[in-house]
A and B are shown apart, each in its own frame.
Chain A
Amino acid sequence: DVKVTQSSRYLVKRTGEKVFLECVQDMDHENMFWYRQDPGLGLRLIYFSYDVKMKEKGDIPEGYSVSREKKERFSLILESASTNQTSMYLCASSLGLAGHYEQYFGPGTRLTVT
């Protein structure tokens, strides 16, 4: 079974702090994704990575950056956290990008920025 783990289930940070969200997958998947989930807005793609050190912006990359130094690990960085980044953050991985490849999700990190 594919396992995607996220470093924290709950996180509380202050405005202006630098925040790191870590994601690890154990199935040698090429592709990894970061989403945020907000009520009424569904899942929105922040960034994704199709290979080590490769990244592409998703639909809402502003205020975020990512790092993928190893295949199994994909980090989401909030350079200076703001209250509008309070959200549920979901990491996912997939074997391929073509249509039939589904994504495997981690349990999510509930981030609160105060």
Chain B
Amino acid sequence: DQQVKQNSPSLSVQEGRISILNCDYTNSMFDYFLWYKKYPAEGPTFLISISSIKDKNEDGRFTVFLNKSAKHLSLHIVPSQPGDSAVYFCAAKTNAGKSTFGDGTTLTVKP
């Protein structure tokens, strides 16, 4: 049973437009959510996070929104740049510290 799902394996957007990556979860015990970005031949790197007590967190071009009632979070990238092309993983954590990752969404930003 996959507790964290990223239902879109891939997303393609035009440079300058908004990219929206989605993530759904089932475990109501998750209390922190993180997004990681992964380039080919590299390990994932941390991008942005949000606590379950918040509904929005913003860092530059990146904003994460959390809808607890829907058990849904999304990552918005505005404006999208070609360098944002990567695989994006959503991760959820309980207070026990273990992270559960989604399958990843491959974002392609076209110049």
Establish whether residues A45 and B45, one from each chain, have CB atoms under 8 Å apart when the complex forms: no
Using C-beta atoms within 8 Å of the partner chain, give the interface range for chain B: 20 to 34
1/0 contact trace for A57-101 toward B, CB 8 Å? 011000000000000000000000000000000101000111110
Is B98 touching A45 in the complex (CB atoms < 8 A)?
A: yes
A92 and B43 within 8 A (CB): yes
Report the contact-size class of chain A (Cβ under 8 Å from the partner): 20 to 34
Contacts of B99 in A (CB 8 A): 45, 103
Query: A27-42, CB under 8 A of B: which get 1 and which 0?
Result: 0000100010000111
Q: Could you say which residues of chain A place their CB within 8 Å of the CB of B6?
A: 42
- What residues of chain A have their CB less than 8 Å away from a CB belonging to chain B? 4, 9, 31, 35, 40-45, 48, 50, 58-59, 90, 92, 96-100, 102-108
